[in-house]
Structure 1
Amino acid sequence: MPKLDELPVELLAHVALFTNRRNDNRSYDPLDLSELLALRCASRSCKGAVRRAAKQHRAARSFSFQRSSAQKIAAIGHVFGSGCRSLSFGTVQSDQAYEARKSLQNFVTSTNGQLRHLSYSGASSQYFSMPELLELCRACPLLRSLFVHGSPTGVITAANLDEFASAVSRACPRLHCVYLPRHRSPAEDYQWHFPRLECLNFLRAGSASAFRWDGVEATLRTCVHATEVDLTNVTVSPRLVDLILAAPAAGRLKRLDINEATVSPELILRFAGGLEALSDLQFPHEFDGGRAFYSSLVQARPSIAKLGLGLSNELDDDALRIICNGLRLEHLELTCVENLTDRAINIILESPCAETLRSIEISYDPQFSSEDVLRLVRGCPELAELNWEVSEDAQLLVQNAVAAAIWGRVGHVDGPNVDAINALLESRGGKATRVPVLQEDGSWRKWPS
């Protein structure tokens, strides 16, 4: 075989792309750069090859520095910075604070303006403040998402929020996702600076401050490309509904998230009737709409394909039948739905949704046994994604089907059924469920074999 130095650098760069390959399903085992670094040290040709390969290698796409030394940041940036597309870093406070800040600036510069995602989580200090963060953003004209974590007393404060948002908007015109520290919600405090945002976010940082209607109106007027509305933990008023339905982006809004919101069934129906593109709806916790509500919902917006019923929804079997016969669902969430019986599985299988479901979430619903879940997966030929969570405490009471019958609503998880479910999901291109199985020796098998 020829020596490495005798191979063309282009071929070596191609070979280097295949180092550090891991199983994508093993997301808990992150990539490292040891193989690339070893290859870089092998010869002069390899050094150039690694520098070329770094621009495309997936191990070099994302870096995170949390109280890292200036030397480490500088070394990684020198070799792999050109391939980085996502960077996160924390508080710049150490004996080398000034040097670490300069190394971060050099690292961002080494990406040659190709950075797409930037995230900062840390406090303000004499070595790192809003101007320094803004300088980093200005070196990333192609940035698509920016996250600045922390309280509104850190790098971004109430006094400099508007200045920072305005400057970042000019420097990074492609931003479609921005989260900054604020006193109210993003829609009230800064989102109007970013017209390409995809989500109108009304999630409030606190409840004490007065609602800022001028900020909401500016955001709804400016963010014409939005496709989502997040009303998580919001008290939804008729005035807010009116403003959203009258917004320029109303005809584009596909997703409505009212998780943990305080909202009446009547206002939800107004959203459903007014948002023509609505296809993804997430209900609040413990929602109790009644059968008449669900009948009105499927009539108002039969195009809904993704439905999250929310934690502890009060619907019963008849309400579920209305949903499944009136909608062609691709995703359904059933989490702690205590009023449903085990007949709910048959209701789904006997409805048009059996032919359209691609994913389903069944969490902490002990009325559904592993046999029921297996029947569901078998009866829905397009179903490839199953988020199935079962309480281990409940399973401790049901080491066999007889005990499960004694305990009534406590479901029985049978190992062979779980294996059959996993095999079907994987055959359809999905991933095996990680539901734990109580084995005969009393131990838990938490991962599929």
Structure 2
Amino acid sequence: MNFKDNFSYFKNNSQEIYFDSSATSIKFDKVIEAQSEYDLKIAANTHNNLFDNAYKANQILLETRQKVANFIGVDDYREIIFTSGTTHSLNQLAFGLRKEFNEKDEILLTKLEHSSNLLPWRVLAEEENLKVDYLELDENFLIDISKISNKVNDKTKVISFAMNSNTIGSLNNVKQIVKEIRRIKKNIIIILDLAQSIAHNKINLKELDVDCAAFSTHKLYGPFGLGILWARKEILEKLKPIFYGGGNNTSISVDNYKLAPIPEKFEAGTLNLSAIYAFKKCLELIQKLNIERMISYEEELKNYFKLRLKEIDLSKFDFYNLKNNQPIVLFNLKNVNSQDFGSFLNKKYKISVRVGKHCARLANDLFKVGSTIRVSFSIYNTKEDIDKFIEALKDCDSWIEEII
């Protein structure tokens, strides 16, 4: 099966080589069609079952929750919360846990974290007089399991980290990391950022033994504006919503109110129902395409790139993550601004890449560079795309002629 056949975007942008999937993936045709279908044929809001399409809306909500739970290895679909994205989900966790912290409690992160898994905790720490510290990384920029005990202590309340980062891409051994954390202190809340992992790894949260996780559907060929928050029921029961309004309460009197049960407790207001319906269709297609085949194909692309890379003059480049199989390549042309070389790739070769700090503002300090070029492969990329990229890298000396 040709994965690319599921994406008409490339019929409308036939010259483009899209290497920016870590920022957002191109959407399946079925996702785009489903969003329109919902608005054209169903359109109803949830929170009542009075008429046929309202009933359908509530059924879609239920069925999508169940499919998400199954996709990420969760038993109870009621633990699946719909949000606007990973950023919303992580903010809900950070500020919803506010009352669980005592002064001087500690939060552990890594310096590779995306701003969405960095800034909420930093702000919370500032407001509640907490301490933020960072787990140590090894030479491959993975969490160093042997040094976790250097950081975890009696004051550690939360540890939040990405399964694999949006820059270096290396895949953390979550099972062993969690096992070591639990060995030192059992009741730490462990949060997993899956934004960069959900499309490239088979996820089973029950096996990983974390307490909470978050991802955005637009990273998984799905719609914009929809995120998934999962947390254990006992966490959700003590978690305070950060939004209040219609749908997340069961009663309001003059001097009292009662919040709705989980999951509605965290879903105030009207949900992005057309996106939820589209994500249901997205998961159905992924099941048909087979996530293991999709992951294997991306690894094949990364390995093919590393093989072809032997043909270029590597002394002209700095590559930062060739040792891992995740479909991200982080690099720079030596002594050339990343923005300039990124522009060259786009103008001369129609290759779309991401340049800058990639919303991971502490990460570039680890690489000791101010800015990098990120290339990210996906199932709609081909070996021919990589051949063109290698051609562009061989032509690197002509970059200045193209952008002046």
TM bucket, shorter chain: under 0.3
Q: TM-score, normalised by structure 1?
A: 0.21
Which structure's residues are more often helix, by fraction?
A: 2
Q: TM-score, normalised by structure 2?
A: 0.23
Structure number with greater Rg is 1
Which structure has the higher relative contact order (CA within 8 Å, separation 6+)? 2
